[in-house]
Amino acid sequence: MEIQQTSQNALSHSTVTAIINAPIEKVNIADWLLNLPDAEYQRCSTQHLGAGITTTYEGEPMSINVETIGDDLMVQHYVATVHRPDYCRMLSISDSITKNGRTKVQVLWELKATKIDDKTTLYTNEIHATATPQMFEYLKEHGVNLADAAASRQAASDAHNHEETPNFAKSIENKALTGKYNQPF
């Protein structure tokens, strides 16, 4: 069940764009993401530790990502609620493991491709993190208010997004133009 992000439960929201030097007709974000090799995922950020593709019990495509966001080790279970060539909507109730213990955070990851012209595409990588009821309990137990947790998460998430987005765009571009992931960038 998706938790709607409000001002009372928002942890972070980051949007970063990059140019893909390929026509939108060749770009297929769903194919790129839902077949992404572990090594390619790791190459896109120094904070990416591992990734794999699976399905839910209902057969929906799912991407499992392990990464650090700031000081938190995140294990993300992204279900592809929408997966088209120009747009993927990935929703995860993620495990957040910190020095103080473990909790859950909802992460909505949106990947978008928009035509700029016949040769270029705009890639948008948007991430929303939302506190879950379990996270509110965790914050209460550790004497942390949501505003402080959100400020820390916002800074870490935005820095992470600024690192990975241009590398994701380059990887999507390589896949669009060559059909391969393993082109150097």
pLDDT score, position 183: 54
pTM for the full model? 0.94
Q: Position 150: which residue type?
A: A
One-letter identity of residue 14: S
At position 101, the amino acid (one-letter code) is G
* Domains defined along the chain, listed by start: 10-177 (3.30.530.20)
Percent helix, percent strand, percent coil in the chain, to nearest 5: 30, 45, 25
> What are the mean pLDDT values of the chain's consecutive 10-residue runs (185 residues total)?
83 97 98 96 97 96 97 97 98 95 97 98 97 95 93 96 98 94 62
Note the pLDDT of residue 153: 94
Question: 41 in helix, strand or coil?
Answer: helix
Query: Which residue's structure tokens are 């939302």?
Result: 130
- Integer Cα distance of 170 and 123 in angstroms: 10
Element (H, E) at 137: helix 133-141
What tokens does 129 get?
Answer: 């993190």
CA distances from 45 to 37, 136, 154, 161 (A): 14, 29, 17, 9
